[in-house]
Amino acid sequence: MAAPPLLSLQDIQLTFGGTQLLESAELIVSPGQRIALVGRNGSGKSTLLKIAAGMVQHDKGLRFAEPSATIRYLPQEPDLSGYATTLAYVEEGLHSGDDPYRGQYLLNALGLTGEEDPKTLSGGEGRRAALARVLAPQPDVLLLDEPTNHLDLPVIEWLQDELNSMRSAMVIISHDRRFLADLSRSTVWLDRGLTRRIEKGFSSFEEWRDEVLEQEEKDRHKLDRQIVREEHWLRYGVTARRKRNVGRLERLAGLRQDRREQRRVTGSVTMAVSEGRTSGALVAEAENISKSFGARTVVRDFSTRVLRGDRVGIVGPNGAGKTTLIKMLTGLLEPDSGTIKRGAALELAMLDQGRARLDPETRLRDALTGGGSDTLKINGEPRHVVGYMKDFLFTPEQANTPIGKLSGGERARVALARALALPSNFLVLDEPTNDLDLETLDLLEEMVSDYSGTVVVVSHDRDFLDRVATSVIMAEGDGRWTEYAGGYSDMVSQRGSGVLARTVDKGAKPAKAQPQAAAAPVSKRKMNFKDKHALDTLPKDIAKLDAEIASLNAALSAPGFYSKDPNGFATKSKALEAAEAKKAAAEERWLELEMLREEIEG
């Protein structure tokens, strides 16, 4: 008999400070499911995940966790205090029967030795230790709150592969769209206190969300027209008739009440960049530039040309020298050798990584205006600071709030607002996507695409780079940099791999790409009729299996199904397992045939 859901939240309600954060939220996690939990910043995603982990008590509703299931929760800000080393912190989360060596393996894979003192760890290092702790037991349910925060691309790609290899059920909150799309098979949308669910991965979310919001707008319009009709009757109807239709008056009052209580979607960021003069056609041209710090060379004999209108992405592991390269291209740092020619009439605006220039004691209004004024200029036109704040979803009441009191997402919006207010034709964005929700990311992409100047962006967000970059400059290691046309995926297809870690384990030999000429000659096989037919029909079979799996998941996720019909639940669970096995086999066969076809044609 199949196991029941491992974790279930039903009709969860929670109020914070008089505001209802969660009205009727649900989350059902069955064995092996991979769920993306999405929603706007401040919608309550992290709170819902903490309720699922049993760390926050809800006001109303039902939480059920299978007693025999192991559940592990990754917080955004892990607490390592009280542990002598990172290995001790990780091993404390293991139980008898768990692999005692897995903790050390995970720490090494994440770039730690296990001997680090938790008191001296950076935020990123603490995050890696916390990841090792929750992954080590290979739990039945993983609750991951922003697992990619503070991680560079090599670690993000390693983590994605590691999670893909695990059998754990997962609920993931992340601003990294590529990470969510590659891992998730279901999506739960938390919006205005309510949850909606589709049995599709995050890649299908945005289209589905837009359809839902469009239907809501149509329903709202119908309600508005209904109210207008009833108000017209109230004003111009015959008095005696009006007295007889008390019920109709009550209905109008009810409609008005519905309209008042109807919770609309939170407003969107209005994002526009303050553009300066048009720069020359040439923005920067570097010829054989190099830069070293002591014995370490971070840029070696690199050449590139940046033209007006280019969107250049810079990628590499932490410590590769991305910031150094940007400083040389923008004139903030001179190379040790080589030459850099910069264009005429450049006006530079920068968004610094980590929002380091935001003084936590500075008021929000002063951070935007520079202090001493209530106005700032956007594209030459004066704007009152409160109106500009509203463009970035801040309320007038927050004008005097110190920056240090704002959330991470709010500080990210402040930094963006400051950078975009400066007149510029050369925009440098260092990790601009940190802490931004999905809707704000969409608007940032539109702004970058519409910007008439030149953009250089450093980012670990692969999806963001794919959407905005016209070329990618990649750290190849040992100070070598290579420029690839297109976005991140184009770079991967050209070089055959993504970003690799800057350093490797001293005890391991670095992997070397084998030259094609050294490969043994392979005799080409032929595709028979059966192979060709399977290659044509397998995608349709996989699509049918996808539909069957989605239908079974929807049925199994229905509230109370297991308690009402245990036998039916078991039957559908077995059918789901069989369908998923068939799909896996079909996908493997299709991939094998597709590779054979490419071999024959290539």
The contacts of residue 499 (CB under 8 Å, 6+ apart) are 152, 153, 154, 157, 315, 316, 317, 474, 475
Q: What is the residue type of 138?
A: Q
Written as six digits, the tokens of 580 are: 């998923």
Q: What is the pLDDT of residue 506?
A: 35
Q: What is the pLDDT of residue 179?
A: 93
> Using CA of residue 22, residue 173, residue 205, residue 266, what is the dihedral sign?
positive
Cα-to-chain-centroid distance, residue 111: 22
| 509 exposure class (CB count in 10 Å sphere: 0-12, 13-18, 19+) | exposed
Q: What is the pLDDT of residue 305?
A: 92
Tens-digit pLDDT profile for residues 447-468: 787 788 899 999 888 888 888 8
Q: What is the pLDDT of residue 516?
A: 35
User: Helix axis angle, 153-165 relative to 102-109, nearest 10°?
Assistant: 150
What's phi and psi for 440, nearest 5 deg? Answer: -65, -35
Q: What is the pLDDT of residue 269?
A: 56
Q: What is the residue type of 418?
A: R
Question: Distance (Å, rounded) from C-alpha 93 to C-alpha 227?
Answer: 58
Beta bridge partners of residue 24, listed in sequence order:
194
Question: Distance (Å, rounded) from C-alpha 460 to C-alpha 148?
Answer: 9
Q: Are 393 and 384 within 8 A, CB to CB?
A: no
Q: What is the pLDDT of residue 598?
A: 65
Query: Order of strands across the sheet with 296-307?
Result: 296-307, 282-293, 337-342
Helices (H), 114-152: 123-135
DSSP string, 529-574: HHHHHHHHHHHHHHHHHHHHHHHHHHHHTSTTHHHH-HHHHHHHHH
pLDDT means per 10 residues, the chain with 602 residues, are: 80 84 93 93 88 94 94 91 93 88 92 91 86 95 92 89 94 92 94 92 89 80 67 53 52 55 52 60 91 90 91 88 90 92 84 63 86 78 85 82 77 79 84 77 79 88 88 90 89 77 40 35 52 80 86 81 80 83 78 70 59
Q: Are 286 and 340 within 8 A, CB to CB?
A: yes
CA distances from 457 to 86, 179, 314, 321 (A): 33, 19, 6, 14
> Using CA of residue 98, residue 153, residue 302, residue 333, what is the dihedral sign?
negative
Q: What is the pLDDT of residue 535?
A: 79
